[in-house]
Amino acid sequence: MGGGRLHPQIQQMVDAAQDAGLPPLDQITVAEARERSRRRRLLLADGPDVAQVSALQIPTPAGPTDARYFVPLEPPAGLLVYFHGGGWVVGDINDYDPLCRMLATACGTTVLNVGYRLAPEHPFPAAADDAYAATRWAAENLPGGERLVLLGDSAGGNLVAVCTQEAKRRGGPPIAFQVLVYPVTDHDFGRSSYDEHGSGYLLGRDDMAWFWNHYVPDAAQRDDPRASPLRARDLSRLPPALFVIAEYDPLRDEGLEYARALARAGVAVDVEHYDDVIHGFFGLATYAERGDQAVARVGEAVRAALAA
């Protein structure tokens, strides 16, 4: 893999970040990391118009969590539950508002953007518990929940994998389709993509160590499939899956490995591999051309899955 070049727009972003000389995550506070994440929102346009946006609170075993619900302009074909990225530590529903508007429009579904609890205040398995509780509540309480799609990027992709496994283990809710965008699937940093792209591309090996140390500080818990879903023993009977993979990404190989593991278990899997982008490009839709293209491709796949 590799051997190509970054898309010029992405290369410009990488160069600008390097020129800015920002300190690494392990040298700043969690609050500073969250503020850095919020500033990324300034790059983005507002996203397309939708018919309705509503603030919701979703019950979980630990108490209510915030969510935002988007209704597309066209009659929706189903419900998409979205889990944002940010290493289980940074990011919130405001940061991903433009992306959710794009997803509602591209997929032709309502979209529920879930504000799950973040580490280190709420370490593992808080995010996983919230994600599954939100999935079950959405399926039971929102229109279109019987035709349910889960989508997440990075740590959100991890939560999608965990939720589909939990839904199978707990007997529901039924999930029609899952979209995993450069997901975190394992805690092992020994894969080739960490060696090839573990520094210099905005997300690096040290950053991922920082995220894992906050989310699952007890290393003995990291083999739990609710943290590392690639380590689940049985991956059969899971929903059909679309993977969106970035080439210049330390998480590339664990995403591809999970896709192959699902396929070996008999799950229908498609992989969209973007050879000229970095981790995080999907969340830059409305700003980055490749992000817009990936959202459009996801929309096509979701529409096809729901039509089937």
pLDDT tens digits, one per residue of 243-252: 999 999 999 9
Is 279 noted as a catalytic residue in this protein? yes
- The mean per-residue pLDDT over the stretch 34-59 comes to 93
Question: What would the pLDDT profile of 252-288 be if each residue is shown by its tens digit?
Answer: 999 999 999 999 999 999 999 999 999 999 999 999 9
- Provide the angle, in degrees to the nearest 10, between the axes of the packed helices 8-20 and 289-307: 120
- Flag whether the pTM goes above 0.95: yes
CATH code of the domain occupying 8-307: 3.40.50.1820
Is 249 noted as a catalytic residue in this protein? yes
Closest Cα partner for 37 from 254, 211, 195?
211
Residue 1 confidence (pLDDT): 44
**Could you tell me what percent of the chain has a pLDDT over 90?**
92
Q: What is the mean pLDDT of the chain?
A: 96
Confidence class for position 84, pLDDT limits 50, 70, 90? very high
Query: Do 182 and 157 meet the contact criterion of CB atoms below 8 Å apart?
Result: yes
Whether 3 shows a pLDDT value over 80: the answer reads no
Query: Do 156 and 89 meet the contact criterion of CB atoms below 8 Å apart?
Result: no
Residue 22 confidence (pLDDT): 85
Of the residues 153, 207, 249, 253, which is catalytic?
249
| b/e burial code for range 80-115 (CB count within 10 A of at least 16 → b) | bbbbbbbbbbbbbbebbbbbbbbbbbbbbbbbbbbb
For the chain, what are the domain ranges?
8-307
The runs of H, that is alpha helices, within 63-189 are 97-107, 126-141, 155-170
What's the Rg (C-alpha) of the chain?
18
Question: What would the pLDDT profile of 129-148 be if each residue is shown by its tens digit?
Answer: 999 999 999 999 999 999 99
Residue 42 confidence (pLDDT): 85
Confidence class for position 21, pLDDT limits 50, 70, 90? confident
Of the residues 154, 186, 207, 214, which is catalytic?
154
Question: What would the pLDDT profile of 200-245 be if each residue is shown by its tens digit?
Answer: 899 999 999 999 999 999 999 999 999 999 999 999 999 999 999 9
Residue 160 confidence (pLDDT): 99
Is 154 noted as a catalytic residue in this protein? yes
